């Protein structure tokens, strides 16, 4: 029984992501920081990659596709052999923004062959995860977001 518990503990710790301590270094410019953010985000695997990205001085905007809902109604009259149908389709874009002045910290994790960067908001909640296979790209992403975060205006200030 003890061997099974030790095996399960070892198995579960192997599946968990391990946090990697990292102290951010400063980037040279906002343009370089924005370029790094765009590249790392768009190089993610297809299931995590957004359809589009905008990096402004105050936020990262992600376009995550569109959502469609449809309703179709039809009626067939046997005597006239007439079919009446109606369709109602609603399309909506799925967009999200992550404001630099609302990000409290970034955390870097390693899990199997992946490096995961977590954006944590000022309410201490993980609001977004970015994935890369390169430790250097993960670190540069943290550096870039921190550079934009430092230069962003505080909430409610012009």
Instruction: Residue 40: name the closest of 138, 126, 127, 148 by CA.
Output: 138
pTM of the model: 0.74
Q: CA distances (Å), 96 to each of 28, 117, 118, 122, in order?
A: 27, 17, 15, 17
Domains and CATH numbers, the chain: 18-151 (2.30.29)
Q: Please, are residues 110 and 22 in contact by the beta-carbon 8 Å criterion?
A: no
- Encode the chain (158 residues) as per-residue pLDDT tens digits: 665 554 544 445 556 889 999 988 888 899 999 999 999 999 999 999 999 999 999 999 999 766 667 766 667 677 777 776 777 776 656 689 999 999 999 999 999 999 999 999 999 999 999 999 999 999 999 999 999 999 888 888 77
Q: How many CB atoms lie within 10 A of CB 39?
A: 15
Q: CA quadruple 135, 136, 142, 145: dihedral positive or negative?
A: negative
């Amino acid at each position: 029984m003890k061997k099974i518990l030790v095996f399960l503990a070892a198995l579960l710790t192997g599946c968990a992501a391990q946090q990697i301590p990292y102290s951010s270094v400063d980037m040279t410019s906002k343009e370089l920081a924005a370029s790094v953010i765009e590249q790392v985000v768009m190089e993610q695997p297809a299931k995590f990659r957004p359809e589009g990205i905008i990096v402004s001085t105050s936020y990262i905007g992600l376009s995550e596709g569109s959502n469609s809902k449809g309703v179709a109604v039809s009626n067939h009259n046997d005597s006239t052999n007439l079919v009446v149908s109606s369709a109602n389709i609603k399309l909506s874009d799925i967009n999200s923004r992550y404001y630099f002045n609302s990000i409290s910290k970034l955390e870097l994790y390693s899990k199997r062959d992946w490096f995961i960067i977590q954006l944590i908001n000022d309410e201490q909640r993980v609001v977004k995860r970015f994935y890369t296979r390169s430790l250097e790209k993960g670190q540069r992403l943290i550096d870039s977001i921190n550079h934009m975060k430092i230069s962003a205006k505080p909430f409610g200030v012009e």
